[in-house]
């Protein structure tokens, strides 16, 4: 499956490179799907040498291929070159190898390599004037916080236990300090509130395809690593102060990110901070060590992996049509736009709220149940955070929907933009009904 990327090198300067890009990408997608039928949900299975799979990793692989393909379609329009498409392909390859990795060294290597294509996208094809400064933030945060995990994994490899599967049968004797060193790199990739400074800067200066991949896939790398860490821990870590601190930081991030979004005007930055609030809540659910916390976080990762790229796509559409992303200058946008834009905006804003029967609704219900079962006092942070999230989403929707005309311009979506939004919508709805039937 991975060797099929080799012909892309010879097709690099072909005039129909876009057609081959789509062909190989969708072939990758459908070659992954049969793995779902022969895997378990929690414990690793279907082992082959250093690679293994379960339904969590398989769904994230499918999500990675889907988001990268649709991001590539958006980036192909305009004056783009084939080097950008190759960066998308390498990003897809690194993510497939990361999510399917069982060996600890492979896990670490592809954990870091998956950041390289986004680093190049921001630095070479970014739109912002400070994109190199944003790249420094992105590089330093992701590298420095991963060094303790790198040293801990190398120490573990010297003990002769290189397979992650072995830790399912041998509980690790790990202290709270080692636990914090292990999860620090994952918490930065999510990112949890407090380690999130690099994310709004990277999103503002990244091209639309880079923002879609960064929000839809790369943030899930941290969540996937946290899920795998919990299967490796013994009972002595689950009630330490480090776990309580991370859980409190997550629910605090949900509340404070919503408050920050109330005073922001840049559409991209608002979506970036909403991602911080969703990921912080997901980490808190994982830290509760309840089944519904694990399940709710997983569903939140999947739902956010589709909705967040679409919201960044909307931000790019606004910027290309009206040369502005500030919601204060887009008043009356819906009244002067096509009906399809109004309909799609309503659907995806409603889905991001967590309305039933969509995936985000089940994820939030699971997170609510687990966190309140762990400590009832967290209800104040949770209710305040969801209240702030609802207020800033409604405020943004009302601001761009006021009756004041916006220079009497029509916002007409092109065919490839309609196709991309439709495919995202179909993917999210089908995923929602799939998991609602299972639950």
Rounded CA separation 403/307 (Å): 27
Task: Find the DSSP H helices in 288-338.
Answer: 291-322
Structural domain boundaries in the chain: 239-439
Distance CA 82, CA 69 (A): 14
Partners of 172 in the beta sheet?
233
In 10 A of CB 13, how many CB atoms?
7
The confidence score (pLDDT) of residue 327 equals 81
Residue in the structure block whose two tokens are 């629910």? 251
Residues 6+ apart with CB under 8 A from 405: 332, 335, 336
**Considering only CA atoms, which of 260, 402, 261, 259 is closest in space to residue 329?**
402
Q: List Cβ<8 Å contacts ≥24 apart for 110-113.
A: 111/146, 111/185, 111/221, 111/225, 112/142, 112/143, 112/146
Residue 337: closest CA among 326, 345, 329, 347:
345
Joined together, the tokens standing for residue 327 give 């919601």
Residues facing 396 on adjacent strands: none
Nearest of 297, 295, 259 to residue 278 by alpha carbon: 297
Per the CB < 8 A criterion, the answer to whether 356 and 423 are in contact is no
For residue 39, the model assigns a pLDDT of: 46
Peptide bond into 401 cis (omega under 30): no
Spatial contact of 202 and 191, defined as CB atoms under 8 Å apart: no
Which pLDDT score is estimated for 234?
A: 55
Query: Looking at the DSSP assignment, which residues form a beta bridge with residue 53?
Result: 45
Tell me the C-alpha distance between 320 and 99, whole Å: 34
The Cα 45–Cα 165 span in angstroms is 9
Give the model's pLDDT for residue 184.
86
From the CA atom positions of the chain, what is the Rg in Å? 21
Helices (H), ranges, 100-239: 104-113, 116-125, 131-144, 147-157, 176-189, 198-205, 208-213, 219-230
pLDDT in the model for residue 235 = 57
> Which percentage of the chain shows pLDDT scores above 90?
0
Contacts of 4 (CB under 8 A, 6+ apart): 24, 27, 28
Name the pTM for this structure. Answer: 0.85
Cα 396 to Cα 295: distance, rounded to the nearest angstrom: 30
Helix axes 379-399, 241-262, angle to 10 degrees: 30
End-to-end CA distance of the chain: 32
Residue linked to tokens 């502005």? 324
* Spatial contact of 61 and 305, defined as CB atoms under 8 Å apart: no
Is residue 321 within 8 Å of residue 310, measured between CB atoms?
Answer: no
Distance CA 303, CA 293 (A): 15
Task: Name the stretches of the chain with pLDDT < 50.
Answer: 36-48, 169
Two tokens at 78? 């305009």
Q: What is the pLDDT of residue 51?
A: 66
Tell me the backbone φ, ψ of residue 35, rounded to 5 degrees: -65, -25
Evaluate whether 39 touches 58 at the Cβ level (below 8 Å): yes
């Amino acid at each position: 499956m991975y060797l099929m990327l080799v012909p892309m090198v010879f097709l690099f300067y072909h005039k129909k490179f876009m057609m081959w890009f789509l062909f190989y990408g969708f072939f990758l997608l459908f070659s992954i799907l049969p793995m779902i039928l022969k895997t378990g949900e929690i414990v690793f299975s279907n082992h082959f040498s250093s690679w293994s799979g379960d339904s969590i990793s398989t769904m994230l692989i499918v999500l990675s291929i889907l988001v990268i393909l649709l991001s590539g379609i958006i980036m192909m329009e305009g004056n783009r070159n084939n080097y950008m498409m190759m960066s998308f392909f390498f990003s897809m390859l690194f993510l497939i190898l990361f999510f399917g990795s069982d060996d600890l060294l492979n896990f670490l290597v592809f954990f870091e390599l998956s950041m390289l294509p986004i680093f190049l996208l921001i630095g070479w094809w970014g739109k912002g004037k400070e994109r190199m400064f944003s790249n420094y933030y992105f590089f330093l945060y992701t590298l420095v916080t991963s060094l303790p995990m790198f040293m801990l994994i190398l120490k573990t490899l010297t003990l002769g236990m290189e397979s992650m599967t072995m830790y399912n049968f041998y509980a690790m004797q790990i202290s709270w300090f080692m636990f914090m060193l292990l999860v620090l790199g994952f918490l930065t990739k999510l990112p949890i509130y407090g380690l999130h400074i690099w994310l709004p800067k990277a999103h503002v200066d990244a091209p639309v395809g880079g923002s879609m991949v960064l929000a839809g896939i790369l943030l899930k790398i941290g969540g996937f690593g946290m899920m795998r860490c919990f299967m490796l821990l013994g009972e002595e870590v689950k009630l330490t102060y480090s776990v309580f601190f991370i859980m409190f930081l997550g629910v605090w991030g949900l509340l404070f990110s919503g408050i920050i979004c109330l005073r922001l005007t840049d559409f991209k930055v608002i979506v970036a901070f909403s991602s911080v609030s969703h990921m912080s809540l997901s980490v808190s659910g994982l830290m509760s060590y309840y089944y519904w916390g694990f399940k709710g976080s997983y569903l939140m990762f999947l739902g956010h992996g589709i909705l967040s790229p679409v919201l960044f796509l909307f931000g790019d559409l606004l910027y290309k049509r009206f040369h502005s992303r500030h919601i204060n200058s887009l008043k009356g946008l819906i009244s002067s736009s096509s009906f399809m834009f109004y309909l799609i905006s309503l659907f995806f804003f409603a889905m991001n709220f967590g309305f039933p029967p969509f995936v985000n609704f089940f994820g939030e219900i699971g997170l609510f149940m687990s966190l309140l079962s762990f400590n009832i006092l967290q209800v104040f942070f949770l209710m305040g955070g969801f209240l702030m999230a609802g207020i800033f989403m409604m405020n943004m929707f009302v601001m761009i929907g006021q009756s004041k005309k916006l220079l009497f311009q029509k916002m007409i979506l092109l065919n490839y933009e309609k196709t991309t939004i439709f495919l995202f919508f179909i993917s999210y709805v089908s995923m929602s009904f799939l998991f609602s039937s299972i639950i």
